[in-house]
Each structure stands twice: as structure tokens, then as C-alpha cells.
Amino acid sequence: MGPPYGGADGSVARAPTSASLVPAWKTRHMRRRHLLALAPVAALAACTPEDPRSPASTGASNAGGEEPGTDPTTEATTAPPSPAELLLAELSPRELAGQLVLVGIPAGSEIPSEVLSEHHAGGIFLLQVWESADAVDSMIATAHEGSRPDLPPLIAVDQEGGQVRMLRGDAARRTPSAEELGAQGPRAVTEAYTSIGEDLSARGIQVALAPVADVVDPDLGRANGPVGALGRGFGTDPEAVGDCVVAATEALAAQGVAATLKHFPGLGRVEENTDFSAAGIEDPVTDAGDPFLESFRAGIGAGAGLVMMSSAIYPRLEPDVPAMFSAAAVEDLLRGELGFSGLVVSDDVGAAEAVASVPVPERATRLLAAGGDVVLTADASLTGELVDAIQDWADQGEEQARRVRESAGRMLALKEELGLLEQ
């Protein structure tokens, strides 16, 4: 995702400092940022030597009367269920299915009421250019008001820098393109993505649909339509791109924002853009041992919470099947070989030409069958049809029901990690 959109630039608006002006959902997000800041201190404290006066260090007998140096027999304990696990257990089939759809909302429009109240969409992502911080704040507040109070929406936005910045004006500061940042190196990436993370966090947005981890084929350069032509890639060297992806991922995390690595297994070797071109775009080179995958591996190692699948076809992985619908790409390569256990999301399945020939219900069920978790639709009118398809698919058998619950669990776990669920 991430077509270029024009718009004016400006400095970021700062959130009110009065606690009385901050809604509860934004307070939870701010609290998580505070806890992240304290994490290094807690880790240091955990590594300090034991108090020399403590029973463990002196060998004093414990309350049970055991001799010093012996371990008392204790019963095995089970950790209490997490907020995400508790919530997962009580969701209805409709709510489980709805959590697996993120809905695009264009600037200047409203969220159709049924998206959240009837279909229980897992969240929204902001489309087109939003130049007003007030408009963004109002939209996000509406999303929270329309959702079940204990099941708040995930809010995401394409904010890569350069041409692909959905937040502009006083909603977010301008940041350079990935191409510009890649030429300067990881330090510049850290600075830019710290700004992006600060701006998203100030607005109550938890997920950046960035960074682009695709390595551009040097033989294509600007002829690479979806990435190189728009300056969206950090470069043509897998190791250098990986360093930049790590810097971006860690900078976002430091601000309490989850990174989305895209577009797995890479769009750096194709010429046409899957957003605007018909189905059948192929990368004939990429396979499971491709060095271009190393930038994704680096981002996963840095803790990226989401990976967005490409809608191109990779014959050396699975012929004739777009990556987002390919078990070889999702389950075998991304989850198996690269060890990713987070949320796997589709590229747009609503308006993108690459999936126009696929029946709408199959756009959801084929992703789930391949091992993916969440579909993104830029067409909000498809929300009900997608949720219906997921719910019906879950009713087809135990394996389908397990997959839906597994993916809903990943969505809720991410929401908990990002501070959206009450502890």
C-alpha cells in the first residue's frame, strides 16, 4: 500500500497537556510509552546483585523450616490469563471475524456506522491526505465511540515519509523519503522515524504501515514501479536496507508504535504497481534462499509487530498464487523460515487491481487459509461481505474455526501490547 498523494506540509501539533482533556484510550497509549521508557531501568534493577541481608544471600532458613541451601518443594503454578486471552474467550463468532478486518477511511469522510457496530471491525486505517490534526483526532474518537468499550479499534496509517505520508499539515511533520534516508544511513532513519512515531503517538495512532523493507533490484531502479519509482525503498543492498529497517522499527517502538514490514517477500523486482495494475504481476527470481529477504529477517529480529504481504506472484515459491494467498509464502517462508509470530496482514483487497478478479469473500478466506491474519480493505462498503465470509468459513470445520480464533488472538495480543486493552 501507499500510493503517492499531494498535500501541504507543516509542523506537528502538540497534544494538550491537561490530563482532563485526554480521553481514556489515549491515556492508555501514553501510559504504555511511559512504561517503555522505564523498561531499561527495570532491566538494570533486575540485574543488580542481591541484597546481602536477604535470606537468599545469607543462607537463612525459610518459613517452611528447610535447611539452608535446599529448595522447598513447590506446586507448579500457571500464569493467569492475559487480558487478550480473557477477551478472546468471550467474543462472539461475529466479533472474532470482525477483528480480522481493517477498514480504510478516506480523508473528509465518516466511518459507516455498521463497520464497527454491526461488523465489529478490528480497526481502521487512514486513507488519502489528512492535513488537520483536529480532523484526525475527531475520526479516531469516533472510532473509539463506535466500538465496544473493552474492544477498542486498532488505528493505522501509511506514513513512510517522502511522497507516502497520509498525515500532513498540522497533523504530522514532513519526513524525507526512504530513498533519501537510505542514502544517509541508519542514524538519519532513526531521526526521521522517531518524528513519525512521535506524531502518530500524539494522535493516538498505534500502527505505522511502514517501513518498506523491499530491496530494489539495482538493474531496475526507477523502473521498479511500486517502490523505486516513488523513492519508497532504502536502497539496493540487502544488508544496508536491513540496517535501515531495524533503525525504523526500533525508533517507532520507542514511541509506542508498531512497525509493519512490507511487502513480503518483496516488490523490488517487479515493474508494475499492484495497486494500479491487473492481476498477474510476477517476480520470477525470489525464492526461499533469496538474499533480498534479509531486510525482512532483520526487521523481524528488531521486533516488528506486523508484516504486510505482497499481492504479486512468486513462481519459485508457489506458481500462479499471489503471495498473500500462498501458504508457501506465509506459513512456510515467513512464519517457518523467518520465524515471524506476529500479525500478518494483506495489502489492500478492496480497491487494488491485483485482486479485482478474486471474489470478495475469497480475498479473506484465502488469506486465512494460507496462514495470514487480517485483511485490509480500502473500500469500506466491502466490510460486511468480508466479515460474513470469515464467519461462514469458521463454521465449515474445526480447523477453520481454530484459524480464525488463532488470528483473532494475535490481533488482541497486539492490541494488548500496544496498550489498548485494560490490564
Per-residue model confidence (pLDDT) at position 26: 58
d(CA 202, CA 21): 13
Element holding 393 (H helix, E strand): helix 383-394
The lowest-confidence range among 4-18, 140-154, 181-195, 207-221 is 4-18
Confidence tier at 422 by pLDDT (50, 70, 90):
confident
pLDDT tens sequence across 231-282:
999 999 999 999 999 999 999 999 999 999 999 999 999 998 666 555 669 9
Domains of the chain: residue spans and CATH = 94-417 (3.20.20.300)
Q: Report whether pLDDT(76) > 90.
A: no
Q: Report whether pLDDT(8) > 50.
A: no
Per-residue model confidence (pLDDT) at position 272: 84
d(CA 183, CA 139): 36
Q: Report whether pLDDT(349) > 80.
A: yes
Per-residue model confidence (pLDDT) at position 277: 58
Between the alpha carbon of residue 113 and those of residues 102, 147, 246, 331, the distances in Å are 14, 10, 38, 35
Per-residue model confidence (pLDDT) at position 382: 98
- The rounded mean pLDDT for the chain is 87
The lowest-confidence range among 76-80, 187-191, 204-208 is 76-80
Count of C-beta atoms within a 10 Å radius of residue 61 = 12
Question: What residues contact 115, with CB distance under 8 A and at least 6 apart?
Answer: 103, 121, 124, 146, 380, 383
Question: What is the b/e burial string over 357-386, where b = at least 16 CB atoms within 10 angstroms of the residue's CB?
Answer: eeebbebbbbbbbbbbbbbbbbbbebbbbb
pLDDT tens sequence across 371-399:
999 999 999 999 999 999 999 999 999 99
pLDDT > 90 in the chain, percent = 77
Which among 164, 151, 97 has a CA at the least distance from the CA of 383?
A: 97
